[in-house]
């Protein structure tokens, strides 16, 4: 949560910056995620930020990760939680809709059906946002 790194990024125009947060945000406390969003928006307004966010599944994994001393702490109900933090949601992909060719056709059909239900769809999302 040391934000000094933001001061050493060259001034290339925020619209030319892409940030990726993969496997990071669920381990932060909700107030830390909010602080990070606030700092990034103030330094890089208009930049693109792609992140994975956990919903219901993270809550199911909370006890297991706590035993490993790496508890999951931040979850979202859906992408509107990100909008409420001041991020502009550009695209959202349920994890199961990415790379469908990796799954046997039976699983593809099952995932297509299950992603119609918010509990399953929002379990794990990849979200593209603008700061």
pLDDT of residue 70: 76
Query: How far apart (Å, rounded) are the C-alpha atoms in residues 14 and 20?
Result: 14
Query: How far apart (Å, rounded) are the C-alpha atoms in residues 78 and 24?
Result: 17
pLDDT tens string, the chain, 131 residues long: the values are 899 999 998 889 999 999 999 989 999 999 999 999 999 999 999 999 999 998 876 667 777 776 677 788 898 988 899 999 999 999 999 877 778 888 898 988 888 888 888 888 888 899 999 99
């Amino acid at each position: 949560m040391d934000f000094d790194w933001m001061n050493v990024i060259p001034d290339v125009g925020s619209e030319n910056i892409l940030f990726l947060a993969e496997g990071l945000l669920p381990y932060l406390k909700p107030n830390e995620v909010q602080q990070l969003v606030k700092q990034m928006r103030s330094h890089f307004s208009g930049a693109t930020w792609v992140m994975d966010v956990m919903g219901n599944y993270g809550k199911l994994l909370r006890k297991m990760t706590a035993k490993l001393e790496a508890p999951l702490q931040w979850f979202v109900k859906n992408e509107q939680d990100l909008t409420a933090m001041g991020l502009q949601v550009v695209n959202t992909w349920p994890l199961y809709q990415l790379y469908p060719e990796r799954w046997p056709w039976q699983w593809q059909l099952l995932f297509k059906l299950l992603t119609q239900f918010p509990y399953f769809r929002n379990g794990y999302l990849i979200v593209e946002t603008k700061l």
